[in-house]
Structure 1
């Protein structure tokens, strides 16, 4: 059974989410603060399929939870829940490895759809090992072990950065629009904020260039999108 952790300190929202998850055959776990959430994530890491994480939490914030997950290499997919006024926090959350975001107020049906999309993407990334090793000059990707190296230096990528890189390398030298990236990597339609794509691409680009600064791995094609593997 799919298992999802709901982290929110508002009882009404937590109850609404858990009810709708149960109606879809999803087993919900709940936490009302960041510290409790982190303990559950650490204990249930191998069993959790997704985390719904409110950013405004008492004590340890949602952003702090994401930081700790990154430090401890806890790679469970995360959907952050934010108020519309929390744009800066939402961007920081994406930079810290969140897979998606939902703004309050939200539709419970939309939340369930986003969860299912994130879980599908994560399963597809795990199962898609048809090309076990990808090599492009200094870049190597071991798809069976999820290890990425540049000039023999391992890169620490978030799950979303890893999925984005895989999509780039499997479409090497093609110009990919933001809409294509949102539909194939995020599995959402183009009405979602395209800055989410730009943030993740920028983060991935910086990490790739760390050990090969002379290489322009991801080229911006003005007015169209991005192109990978072309100098």
Structure 2
């Protein structure tokens, strides 16, 4: 079944162009011209992913992203103004899975959507009980969730994929560039700060004290390392 994408953008010409291209790429689409109507569409029937513009007539995209993320892990790709790094960082901090700056290539947007959906939908080859355990922390690759002391911790699809890649390489130093390659499946520019924002959000979810992390350690100038031994119970 084709994945359905909800486009929330008040630029009706752009939305129509995206709809046409995404349909040719194998998606089905719906559109909403305001943040409120987008939320209503999601409540009526949740799509498989959302394309969300930052600039909307009733609410900004950040507020809509926050409202969506408060109720679901629905994949979100945000559209930001060209060169507005602050917009991208804020969007990621609020739970967006990815961002794309305008103007952009529809082909790149479709490729990013497919990458997001691959990460969030997972692979059917993963066994339901395939769980990585690190003391009090459990990373359930089958259910695609993270639990700390048995309690599920909130995380976006991208952040979950990033955490799995780090956990599967526990004890190894991974550069930011290598983490981006593993998680996105594509080469990104080395100065892209999105990886740091996502790791900060993961730490907030799984660390007892995010300011003094014991699970994801920063090695200045080298990258990150996911610790093998993290809790007293590991020793």
TM-score w.r.t. structure 2 length?
0.87
Residues in 1 aligned to 2:95 and 2:38: alpha-carbon distance in whole angstroms: 17
Query: Is the contact between residue 133 and residue 143 of structure 1 (CA under 8 Å) also seen in structure 2?
Result: yes
Q: Is contact 1:151-1:211 (8 Å) kept? A: no
1:63 alignment partner in structure 2? 62
Question: Contact 1:205/1:218 (CA < 8 Å) preserved in 2?
Answer: yes
Match of 2:232 in 1: none
Question: What is the distance in 1 between the residues matched to 2:33 and 2:190?
Answer: 28
User: Hey, which bits of structure 1, 4+ residues long, moved more than 6 A?
Assistant: 211-214
* Cα offset, 1:156, TM superposition: 1.7
Gaps of 5+ in 1: none
Aligned to 2:140: 142
Q: CA deviation at 1:83?
A: 0.3
Conserved in 2, the CA contact under 8 Å of 1:8 and 1:31?
yes
Moved more, 221-230 or 119-128: 119-128
User: Against the structure 1 CA distance between its residues 106 and 204, is the aligned structure 2 distance closer, same or farther, given a 3 Å change threshold?
Assistant: same
Matching of residues 62-81 of structure 1 within 5 Å = 62-72=61-71, 74-81=72-79
TM, length-normalised to structure 1: 0.89
Offset at residue 9 of structure 1 (A): 0.5
CA RMSD of aligned residues (A): 2.2
The number of residue pairs the alignment matches comes to 228
8 Å CA contact retained: 1:4, 1:49: yes
Deviations 1:145-183 (A, max 9, x none): 334222344322222222211111111111111112111
Q: Which moved more, 1:132-141 or 1:27-36?
A: 132-141
Deviation at 1:115, TM superposition (A): 1.2
Aligned 8 A contact 1:31 1:37 in 2: yes
How many Å apart are 1:80 and its aligned residue? 0.3
Q: Would you say the 8 A contact 1:51–1:76 is kept in 2?
A: yes
Q: 1:156 aligned to 132, 154, 157, which one?
A: 154
Shift of 1:89: 2.3
What CA deviation, in whole Å up to 9, does each residue of 1:14-50 have, x standing for no partner?
12111111222221110111111111122222xx222
CA contact (8 A) 1:77 1:119 kept: yes
Deviates more, 1:177-186 or 1:136-145: 136-145
Residues 40 and 127 (structure 1), Cα distance of their counterparts in 2 relative to 1, 3 Å cut: farther
SS of residue paired to 2:146: strand
